[in-house]
Structure 1
Amino acid sequence: MPTIKSSAELRNNYNEISTFCHTYTEPVFITKNGKGDLAVMSIEAYEEMNSRFELYGLIKEGLDDIVDGNTRPFSEAMTAIRSKRKR
């Protein structure tokens, strides 16, 4: 269940919310006038989330290459990699 705090709680209890975000590595949703406004998370959690998005993007590129037929045999790919390492 998400953690939801008001903007007043963020202002008045910043350290408590910061500690929560670092301890549980999950966002705290901040409301303003009773409506969702922000998601606050630690930098570590943000970087991890961003890394996942980058990985998912690379996986999608690979899957798209398979669908488009942009592939080659494993042995051919390994030969190309080995020849680049020898340079």
Structure 2
Amino acid sequence: MPKIIPIRDLKNTSEISQMCHESDEPIFVTKNGYGDMVIMSMKMYEEKMFMSDVYRKLNAAEEQLTEGKILDGDQSLKSIREKYNV
């Protein structure tokens, strides 16, 4: 269940930091009863951004497959080996 806190609670920086590090989800901050911000630990942010990048690359790869933009694996490896003398 997502954590939702009012903006006035941000003055308790140590508590908020601890909440961020203990939570596996972002913490939503409200202002006057409406969503205003989202906060999370740096570790969580890096993990989320990494997964976002993975999904973006997978999506691009699936689009290339759909468009028929594929290469022969054996030929590609042979070309790389020749290029780098491996």
**TM-score, normalised on structure 1?**
0.86
Deviation at 1:24, TM superposition (A): 2.4
CA contact (8 A) 1:6 1:30 kept: yes
Cα-Cα RMSD: 1.6
Deviation at 1:61, TM superposition (A): 1.2
CA contact (8 A) 1:27 1:39 kept: yes
1:1-87 matches, cutoff 5 A: 1-11=1-11, 13-86=12-85
Q: Which moved more, 1:76-85 or 1:19-28?
A: 76-85
Whole-angstrom CA distance in 2 between matches of 1:57 and 1:25: 22
Q: Which moved more, 1:16-25 or 1:59-68?
A: 16-25
Deviation at 1:82, TM superposition (A): 2.5
SS of match in other structure, 2:69? coil
Deviation at 1:37, TM superposition (A): 0.6
Whole-angstrom CA distance in 2 between matches of 1:25 and 1:83: 47
SS of match in other structure, 1:38? strand
Q: Which runs of 5+ in 2 are unaligned?
A: none
CA contact (8 A) 1:17 1:28 kept: no
Count of residue pairs brought into register by the alignment: 86
Whole-angstrom CA distance in 1 between matches of 2:3 and 2:63: 37
